[in-house]
Amino acid sequence: MSKRTIVALPGDGIGKAVLDETIRVLDAAGFEADYVEGDIGWEFWKSEGNPLPDRTKELIKKHKIGLFGAITSKPKDAAFEELSPELQSKGLVYSSPIVGLRQHFGLDICMRPCRTYKGNPLNFIRRAQGDNFDEPEIDAVIFRQNTEGLYGGVEWSDPPEQVYEALMTHPKFDKNFGHVPKDEISVSTRIFTKNGTERILRAAFNHAKKYGYKSVTVCEKPNVIRETSGMMFKMAQEIQKTDFPEIELWNTNIDAQMMWLTKNPEDYGVIVAGNMFGDIVSDGFAGLIGGLGFACSAQFNPETGIGVFEPTHGSAPKYADYETSIVNPVAMIESACMMLDFIEENEIAKKIRKAVAEVIAEGKVRTYDMMKMRGTANVINEGAATTVEMADAVIAKL
Ligand code: NAI
Ligand code: MG
């Protein structure tokens, strides 16, 4: 088989540090690939007025697989101020390149596994009977619809007349908001399509079946958000009944789920939700397994085979300029393992996961977050491993 080309998208801040180390780990594990670098992020917004240049989209289209670090996003005003002066008169509006990638390539399946590593000092523990504590072993995989719903971008402040009139045809809008001046109304829509909903549900059920999870939980709020959440749950019932009768279908409300998170997180297997609730519930679970240094994700389109794999964390600007990087590369390394699974390099993925697990279980090499330190440049003197040392430890196990 010919050598693969991976589009390396370091982005901003700590993105580059974690991506560089991850590529070293991939090399050490015997993954043979060429890497081409794709431009993305704040730097390109400032200099070109576009954080996701067309040439980057072309690269991803051609090579299909992207490994992405993190980007910086800033509010509207800051985005305008930092734009290079000659571009400021062009009416450019900043929008997140990562959301742009999802929508451009229809990367509608987002998958965020949250698995406990034995020996991670950040693992969630729970008070048990008497003075005892439990450390539940969590193995949940969140499937988040990635392109629709509340993050679909269909929103207005002071909506156009036609939109306002359409809203007024709904009796509840008329009754509850009809007396409010139009220019005092902001509307963000939550659009679910049958196709998008079916795709995320099937991805979740297929994953449960393939990896032997006993349940799929739809985590929405169908009793209140009747149309969108309601549609998702109803479709899940149909899909389960016809195609996955051996898998149990559970239904939780997002608010209750966040409460139960610390009660019985080990009971959940595959969880599926719309865009926003999926974002929330996946961050909730990530917090139980060590937080941002450990939370990995994949977003892909099963039909085109295009996928972008990235840690959940952002660019952590306060650590970006450290001479020696202190952040934890595990989330990025785990995201690369998801990439390997996606391109069916499962054996290499397994090897890397085993090496990471051994390093964590051994506990000799730990980044500052694992030592519960406040992140400063001084943590290295206090015994925390650097980003490079953490990757070195994984490589040594390989
Ligand atoms: P963040 O995830 O960048 O950082 C929050 C805090 O989490 C950090 O200050 C640090 O204490 C910790 N942290 C993050 N990654 C870590 C790692 N690998 N190891 C150890 N500790 C780690 O989120 P924040 O500060 O809210 O946002 C910073 C920038 O990143 C913003 O511009 C935001 O828009 C952007 N962002 C980008 C994302 C992406 O690229 N997908 C996701 C989230 C935020
Ligand atoms: Mg999030």
pLDDT (0 to 100) of residue 258? 95
Separation between Cα atoms, residue 249 and residue 3, nearest integer Å: 41
What is the 318 CA–ligand 1 centroid distance (Å)?
A: 9
pLDDT at 1: 57
Residue intervals of the chain classified under CATH 3.40.718.10 are 1-107+304-398, 124-154+191-288
- pLDDT tens for 350-373 read 999 999 999 999 999 999 999 999
101: left (phi over 0), alpha (psi -120 to 50) or beta: alpha
- Give the tens place of pLDDT for each residue, 79-100: 999 999 999 999 999 989 999 9
312 C-alpha to ligand 2 centroid (Å): 7
The pLDDT of residue 132 is 94
- Averaged over 258-273, what is the pLDDT? 95
Please state the φ and ψ torsions of residue 315, each to the nearest 5 degrees: -85, 0
Q: Give pLDDT tens digits for 215-227.
A: 999 999 999 999 9
What average pLDDT score do residues 10-23 get?
A: 97
Nearest to 292 by CA among 351, 357, 375, 362: 375
Q: For the chain, give the mean pLDDT.
A: 96
- How far is the centre of ligand 2, averaged over its atoms, from the C-alpha of 193 (Å)? 22
Residue-wise pLDDT for 152-176, tens only, equals: 889 999 999 999 999 999 999 999 9
- Band of pLDDT at residue 305, cut at 50, 70 and 90: very high
Q: What is the mean pLDDT of residues 205-211?
A: 97
Which of the ligands is closest to the CA of residue 295? 1
Q: How many CB atoms are closer than 10 A to CB 234?
A: 13
Task: Pick 124-154+191-288's CATH classification: 3.40.718.10, 3.30.750.80, 1.20.140.10, 3.40.50.2020.
Answer: 3.40.718.10
Predicted pLDDT at 133: 94
Q: Tell me the pLDDT band of 242, cut-offs 50, 70 and 90.
A: very high
Second CATH level (architecture) for the domain 1-107+304-398? 3-Layer(aba) Sandwich (3.40)
Using one digit for the tens of pLDDT, what is the confidence trace for 32-80? 999 999 999 999 999 999 999 999 999 999 999 999 999 999 988 899 9
Per-residue pLDDT, 287: 97
In the structure, which protein residues have their CB atom closer than 6 angstroms to any atom of ligand 1?
18, 70-74, 98, 292-293, 310, 313-318, 327-328, 331, 369, 375
CA neighbours closer than 13 Å in the CB half-sphere of residue 365: 23
Ligand 1 atom, smallest distance to 69 CA: 40
User: Given a cut of 90, is residue 237 above it in pLDDT?
Assistant: yes
Instruction: Tally the C-alpha atoms within 13 A of residue 397's C-alpha that lie toward its C-beta.
Output: 22
Tokens of 114: 């949250």
